[in-house]
Structure 1
Amino acid sequence: MKIGVFATFMSPLATPQMIRDFGRRAEDTGLDSIWMGEHVVLFDRNTFGYPSSKDGRIPVPDGGGMLDVTATFGFLAAATSRLRFGTGVALVPQRNPIYTAKEICTLDWLTEGRIDFGIGVGWNKEEVEACGYRWEDRGARCDEFLEVMRRLWTEPVVDFAGKWVRFETARLDPKPIQKPHVPIIVGGYADAAMRRAVRFGAGWYGFNRDPAGVREMLGRLDAAFAAAGRTRGPEFEIIITPPMSMPVDAMAAYAELGVHRLVVNLDSQRPERVDGRMAEIERLVRLAA
């Protein structure tokens, strides 16, 4: 089992030097990957609360915000040579699918195939609407956008006539280094997310899931594969961010479930806390080796 780190970088703590040093340290200690979450704008009031916090708010520093995933991964790629980079998750239904296809395949090209495209439909109604889309149909729009991207990545010339996207004889180059295309890792827990993982996914990503929660989700995922007349194979990756409180000896339980990668949450980016947390994560890397 491989060990990665979830480190959504936030200003003002995540300076260029901090990010560069963190990436090099992660690579030097044998971490598999760095994953980042995505939010382009935040709101003082939300219809639905952030699911991973007690007060429903994303814990950002005062006066700070989340750095853009694409730009940050490009910056990190220039400072490293082996680390993989994963979006955890890219909010596909509020993005422009053609621009997104271009950004992700360019990252894949420049990193020589070190990108995982983790995707989800999102929880922030206000953010989806601020980006110009409707909240209620985000699932269907996600599926159409993924189909657009997949075809642009794999076909020399594409005609597309969907509900939200229409074009003729479009060419997108360069194509991704990874074949058949950049791996799509589907996040989410609804039945629609399970179906999306079966249809588009090279893997499934679960956030803040303990072994019991992973076992439950794998049962639902396998049921979705069976409904589609398929069986989940060993090449379909299971990627999990465990709870912050996960004891080291829980690694064995995740491994027994067939988890391919544990992406451990860095949590605070204050320098005095990063060192302590990275020491814990580096211990996991040694145990997993």
Structure 2
Amino acid sequence: MATIDVLSKGRVTVGIGVGWMREEVEALGCHEFAQRGALTDEYLQIFKALWTEEPARFEGAFYRFDALHSLPKPVQNPHPPIWVGGHSRPALRRVARLADGWHPVGANPAVPLRPAEFSGACEELRRLTEAQGRDYADLTICFKAPLYDKGSHAEAAQDRRPFSGSRSQIVDDIGTYAELGVHELIFDFRSATLAETLDRMRQFNADIRSQAA
């Protein structure tokens, strides 16, 4: 990742998630599924040590090394920003302790993070971050938003999902999440074909992005 940061002249953002599917972890022959959170925490600490120390040293429950050299160092100082995905309490604790940004996945239909739930998670993250002696305002909040721009009239009613319904409603949703503290939104434009995906992107740029700017 440090090499990519050098080649891109400092454009790398590191996204981290612990994973949720036991079969994926077991297929890779990794540690026990229940240990994935603690293991990820060590990975993050190791990344930072390799990027900022020369030589690097680390001692943890899973990994340890002494006087390890790693080159090149990243362009970004002190290192590329680390964004942690997920909005479980362990994920929020990980952001507060080790990350530079939070990337909740609002596109998960099981837990869609409507404004009220998202606001509550932000307040919890603020509390956890301040408990670590860090400034919540230094975190980047990047929300992965579903895009239901082809929603039905039923979805545009009182119980509609965020980012569904009319173009003006989607624009309003963008404003709502911005007011709650979101700095960046990532929309999922994927469709059945590449042509449909590109068309959705063009329509979004023409009809929604221009109004939300």
TM-score range, shorter chain: 0.7 to 0.9
| Structure 1 equivalent of residue 52 of structure 2 | 154
What are the residue-to-residue correspondences of 1:73-152 with 2, within 5 Å? 104-133=1-30, 134-152=32-50
Return the match for 1:225 from 107, 129, 132: 129
| Structure 1 equivalent of residue 146 of structure 2 | 243
Distance 2:136 2:97 in 1: 12
TM-score, normalised with respect to structure 2: 0.80
Shift of 1:266: 1.5
Distance 2:114 2:7 in 1: 35
Q: Deviations over 1:247-283 (max 9, x none)?
A: 2321110111121101011222612311321023313
Paired-residue identity, %: 38
| Structure 2 equivalent of residue 13 of structure 1 | none
| Structure 2 equivalent of residue 198 of structure 1 | 96
Structure number with bigger Rg: 2
Q: Whose helix proportion is higher, 1 or 2? A: 2
Query: Relative to structure 1, is the Cα distance of residues 140 and 165 closer, same or farther in structure 2, using a 3 angstrom cutoff?
Result: same
Alignment of 1:287 with 2:211, yes or no, is: yes
Shift of 1:286: 2.6
Return the match for 1:260 from 165, 183, 188: 183
Query: Relative to structure 1, is the Cα distance of residues 228 and 153 closer, same or farther in structure 2, using a 3 angstrom cutoff?
Result: same
Letter of the 1:169 counterpart: A
Distance 1:162 1:207 in 2: 29
Alignment of 1:178 with 2:76, yes or no, is: yes
| Structure 2 equivalent of residue 277 of structure 1 | 200
Relative contact order: is structure 1 or structure 2 higher (C-alpha 8 Å, sep ≥ 6)? Answer: 1
TM-score, normalised with respect to structure 1: 0.60
Give the ranges of 4+ consecutive aligned residues of structure 1 lying more than 6 Å apart after TM superposition. Answer: none
Distance 1:105 1:280 in 2: 36
Distance 2:134 2:82 in 1: 18
Q: Deviations over 1:140-171 (max 9, x none)?
A: 11111110111100111012222222222111
Aligned residue-pair number:
185
Distance 1:193 1:177 in 2: 27
SS of corresponding position for 2:94: helix
Shift of 1:105: 1.1
**Unaligned segments of structure 2, at least 5 residues:** 107-112, 149-162, 164-169
Q: Is the 8 A contact 1:105 1:153 kept in 2?
A: yes
**Unaligned segments of structure 1, at least 5 residues:** 1-103
Query: Relative to structure 1, is the Cα distance of residues 267 and 184 closer, same or farther in structure 2, using a 3 angstrom cutoff?
Result: same
Q: Is the 8 A contact 1:210 1:242 kept in 2?
A: no
Q: Deviations over 1:184-231 (max 9, x none)?
A: 011122222111101111110011244333212101111212332444
Distance 2:75 2:192 in 1: 32
Distance 1:106 1:137 in 2: 29
Distance 1:229 1:156 in 2: 26
Q: Is the 8 A contact 1:188 1:206 kept in 2?
A: yes
